[in-house]
């Protein structure tokens, strides 16, 4: 299932997923299980994929650009990855840029033996740590922030690998869910705030870790539990698991945008169906921003559950006013604006017979730069819609993310430059409304947002960042993606 924003184009007008990680230990076909699990997580990263396995003696790695099926669909490819333990990663570049050298899992030979690491998230003090390590003689093989963790482990003076691992993470700021393959077993952990997701399951005696529960479903694993924020789980080669909690307990701040867009709708997060939450966002949106209309039309695929909720609450009929072709690949850079527009039209087309002459409520998950929304609104008008009202299933995205989501710099976010009325004019909609931040919190099961101690990381909406942003502290104010010192 591909949940990339359907109108993605060269303008970068979408919030790209972070990454997806999957690991299994104690399985005879470990690499094949990982490949299947990564296929279920393909929506989280479509730029590159990698798998590293361990057979008790040697480590084996295979990495490639493109999708899982392009790199791991053959038996020959999986035969290169023997062993009962393996970890994998699907990637959309956030820190480090594209290129094969940044494809994970990253591998290094440490004093304690081989070590492979797959990382979902972003280290917000990676550049500061990297400069210090380079001054001490470290030689980096990639530009990925994940490699900083490997060097911190290598230079730690603690005697055991687990102690070195924890020592390294104590120096790290930001967001991470990590799956590591070592000669003694697998290590999985989640940052103390739990910003990025990670779950644990079992297939018989084999232990599985994944970014989302849907990957457990696909490989036939039983869900055990979420990895707790700040928890480090060691799984030995015999399958025995030990839980460690080396960090001080703090109120968790899981990413709320997982519920809005990033996770697959058939996943479960914090005991809540993502699909149900998205429908409830639509319900809240209908309560907060009703409008006289004839049809509720989702922007497929990510707008569908919220549109269903909006239609059910408002009583306005739900219709598929935009039809998506599933046989067109992603829209890459084209030689002209006309070619880009033609590519969009090949991927999606207005259902003219449904929308002509109707007052339309368009439901989408977010507005980033606004150019995509403008094209969608124009598509409806070209198909004969009498009115086009846009409703967005998230609050205005006015701040950049520094925790593993590839958002544009703040100066390019439409909501950072305009109020809602001006945004409506920009996209040429008859009206525009976003769900409120409290409405979003109600949809995920909270009474309201606790401003003193938010229950989620919602910095992309509020500017309330839950960690220090060390790498930005020495950046000149003119180059910052948000005002200096703005953390609330």
Sign of CA dihedral 216, 206, 48, 140: positive
460 is catalytic: no
Check 19, 180, 457, 460 and give the catalytic one: 19
Residue 316, both tokens? 């306005």
Checking DSSP bridges between strand 295-298 and strand 359-364, what pairing results, if any? parallel
Closest CA to 189 of 239, 125, 129, 118: 118
- The residues that bridge with 390 in the sheet, in sequence order, are 362, 432
Distance between first and last Cα of the chain: 36
Distances (CA, A) of 336 to 333, 341, 343, 387: 9, 9, 11, 30
Closest CA to 365 of 319, 434, 419, 432: 434
Location of structure tokens 């994940």: 146
d(CA 108, CA 91): 19
DSSP states along 76-112:
HHHHTS-SSEEEEEEE--SSS-SSGGGPSSEEEEETT
Bin 137: left if φ > 0, else alpha if -120 < ψ < 50, else beta: left
Sign of CA dihedral 322, 328, 333, 336: negative
Do 285 and 393 form a contact (C-beta atoms < 8 A)? yes
Ordered strands of the 206-210 beta sheet: 59-65, 48-54, 85-91, 19-25, 206-210, 199-203, 222-226
Closest CA to 189 of 238, 249, 236, 234: 234
Do 399 and 15 form a contact (C-beta atoms < 8 A)? no
Closest CA to 389 of 377, 405, 402, 374: 377
Location of structure tokens 């490989």: 219
Helix residue spans in 315-435 (DSSP H)? 337-347, 352-355, 371-382, 414-417, 420-427
d(CA 206, CA 238): 9
Catalytic residue IDs: 19
């Amino acid at each position: 299932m591909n949940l990339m924003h359907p109108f993605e184009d060269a303008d970068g007008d979408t919030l790209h997923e972070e990454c997806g990680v999957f690991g299994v230990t104690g399985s005879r076909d470990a690499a094949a299980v990982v490949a299947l699990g990564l296929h279920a997580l393909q929506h989280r990263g479509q730029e590159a994929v990698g798998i590293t396995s361990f057979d008790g003696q040697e480590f084996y790695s295979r990495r490639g650009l493109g999708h899982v099926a392009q790199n791991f669909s053959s038996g020959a490819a999986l035969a290169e990855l023997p062993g009962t333990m393996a970890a994998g990663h699907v990637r959309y570049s956030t820190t480090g840029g594209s290129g094969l050298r940044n494809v994970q899992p990253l591998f290094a030979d440490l004093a304690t033996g081989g070590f492979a690491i797959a990382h979902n998230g972003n280290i917000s003090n990676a550049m500061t740590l990297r400069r210090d390590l380079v001054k001490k003689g470290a030689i980096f093989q990639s530009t990925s922030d994940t490699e900083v963790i490997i060097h911190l482990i290598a230079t730690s003076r603690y005697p055991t690998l687990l102690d070195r691992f924890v020592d390294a993470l104590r120096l790290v700021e930001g967001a991470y869910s990590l799956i590591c393959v070592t000669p003694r077993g697998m290590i999985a952990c989640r940052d103390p705030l739990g910003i990025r997701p990670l779950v644990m399951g079992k297939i018989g005696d084999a232990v599985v870790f994944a970014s989302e529960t849907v990957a457990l479903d696909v490989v036939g694993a039983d869900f055990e539990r979420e990895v707790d924020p700040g928890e480090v789980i060691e799984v030995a080669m015999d399958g025995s698991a030990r839980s460690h909690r080396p960090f001080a307990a703090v109120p968790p701040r899981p990413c709320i945008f997982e519920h809005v867009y990033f996770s697959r709708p058939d996943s479960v997060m914090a005991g809540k169906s993502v699909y149900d939450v998205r429908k409830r966002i639509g319900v809240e949106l209908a309560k907060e921003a009703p409008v006289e209309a004839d049809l509720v039309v989702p922007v497929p695929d990510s707008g569908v559950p919220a549109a269903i909720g909006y239609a059910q609450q408002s009583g306005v009929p739900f219709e598929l006013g935009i039809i998506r072709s599933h046989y067109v690949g992603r829209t890459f850079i084209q030689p002209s604006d006309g070619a880009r527009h033609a590519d969009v039209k090949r991927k999606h087309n207005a259902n003219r017979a449904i929308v002509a002459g109707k007052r339309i409520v368009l439901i989408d998950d977010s507005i980033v730069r606004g150019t995509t929304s403008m094209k969608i609104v124009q598509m409806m008008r070209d198909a004969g819609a009498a009115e086009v009202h846009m409703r967005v299933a998230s609050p205005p995205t006015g701040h950049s993310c520094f925790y593993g989501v590839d958002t544009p710099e703040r100066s390019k976010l439409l909501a950072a430059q305009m109020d809602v009325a001006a945004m409506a004019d920009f996209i040429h909609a008859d009206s525009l409304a976003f769900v409120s931040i409290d409405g979003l919190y109600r949809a995920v099961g909270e009474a309201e947002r606790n401003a003193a101690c938010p229950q989620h990381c919602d910095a992309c909406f509020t500017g309330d960042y839950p960690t220090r942003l060390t790498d930005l502290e020495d950046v000149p104010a003119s180059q910052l993606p948000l005002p200096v010192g703005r953390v609330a």
